[in-house]
Structure 1
Amino acid sequence: MARPLVARAVDAALDRSVVLGYTTIGLAVRRALPGWPPDPRPGVLAGRQVLVTGASSGLGTATVEGLADLGATVHLLVRDEAKGAAVAGRIRAARPGSELRLWRCDVADLDDVRRFARAFAAEVAQLHAVVHNAGVMPPTRTESPQGHELSMAVHLVGPVVMTEALRGVLAGGRVVLVSSGGMYAQRLRADDPELVRDDYSPTTAYARSKRWQVEMAPLLAERWAADGITVATLHPGWADTPGVQESLPRFRTLTRPVLRDDRQGADTSVWLAAVEPPPPTGRFWHDRVERPTSLLPATRPDRATRDRAWAWLRQVTDLT
């Protein structure tokens, strides 16, 4: 259904205001506007397999719950198996009959990612979607086992390697990358992708890696289109996640009354994984609507910068 002009104008105004658009206020208003994209139909994912990374807390757990409610067999990818098992147990208790599988993997460790992908593909013949939700914001500059800055390793390098390794079973499926509205404040730094030259800041490293997700998505979409795989990036708005609670306590104190809960933050992830027909590939989304990837000219990369970034990503992920 086409959205009326007034509804589009209100939606855009909420989006540009940030404070209104990213909070519970924005979601509530958008849901009430004419043309709100409808929910996926009940049971749409029955018989389908979906993989969710970072599934043991926050938005990841809420994404698992939303997908399970639509009938999917959901594979929970976690780093801490004991924590993941406890979460899976709680979900099963609240949703009897839910089909859940637990897998362990450190998304930052490319050797572990490839090990997991081999094991997963040996057991799962067809994967409908992977939701790359795992996230980190280390207080000091930290490197992965392969020497990559940890935010970049978890948010981009690991997910690309994992998806590439799963292409066979993911053919015809979907890739969903959970980004952040914080990326709007950052340029694509192809000259310093892993924060070696600049002073380290947790929020800067996090936002830069999220900018990379969004800028690389169209190029990844082109690469994976040969297998019928679609790619979507999204930002969940401001949600009261464990990451916000631990890493941004002052921000949480100021915004807590209007922060989204986990279910609200996971809404677009679930929608992108389940809605039919699949949304157009390579786009950036928030609250079920495609959004611009840059709001300021200074953060819009030129072709040369994007090409340089793509060359770096291909090198570190061994894309041929």
Structure 2
Amino acid sequence: MKKWILITAATFLTLLTLLLAVGLWAYQQTQVFGRTALALESPQELQLGHGTSFHRLGQELQQRGWLQYDWRWKMLGKLQPQLTAIRSGLYEVLPQDTPESLLQKLVAGDEKRFTLTLVEGKTISEWRQYLQQLPHLQQSPQPFLLVLQQQGDDSAKAEGKFFPDTYQYRAGTELTTLLTQSYHKMQQELQAVWNERDQGLPLESPYELLILASIIEKETGKAEERRLISAVFINRLRKGMRLQTDPTVIYGMGDAFNGNITRKDLLQETPFNTYRIHGLPPTPIAAPGRESLMAAAHPEAVNYLYFVSRNDGSHVFSATLAEHNRAVDRYQRRKK
């Protein structure tokens, strides 16, 4: 009896040792499995629907060929149950991701981010074409006008009212959500610049400053010239001179503009033809950035009334018509 008990105890210890060895081996294998990079060569998107389980995820990853769905995946969930609380969404899976790092990403809800960049100097029409090409963004008809309506802006004049910047979004985000951020940012930037503007400017409202800033944005080829160009327009407004700026004419022509402005175009009666109207056009002609807003609020203290392009992005500035004509002859008519 005593001998049988000893044999039983020895057998039990042997089995226990074997089980412990197997358990340690399984644990080590699971650790290695969880920290080994997934089998993919480039970043991939992974869409998880609502209610996707931990085990269904493992099966999908195997179907994609990224890992082998076996007992190690299941044990990983047992050993680290916090990794099983995965969240739905669209995620970016990187070649360096491991099962553990991927699960941490899914548990944290660290979804893939996309960027929307509204480029300064562009029109609403140009932005609209760009926005239609962006992935995973919920589009709406007339999104700019919809935002104006939602913000209580019943002017129906969207041009220039959205701040050009880069905005991040997740898959399924409403475009109007991002445009609302852009609208509020322009309101904040514009009001801040208006509050700090130079005194005595011939501008009656923040909106007029916005219009002027949009013209400066379109006329500027070199950043350091913004305040000089602003000074020319401010000086002209003070003297009651027409602005005579081509970008406003082009904007007023719309789709009729084919790359060239003719004498006939300059004689056309449109609200944006600053060769025919006095003062500012009725709306901005593009989206100005903060630097152009600042230039409109703080023009250079010079007496220039004219400028002409050197055809390299820079301009020659003149205080008199005679000086300006000589610059035009040299740089536009190529007369020595």
Whose Rg is larger? 2
The question of a shared fold, defined as TM-score above 0.5 by the shorter chain, is answered with no
Relative to the length of structure 1, the TM-score reads 0.23
Task: With a CA cutoff of 8 Å and minimum separation of 6, indicate the structure with the bigger relative contact order.
Answer: 1
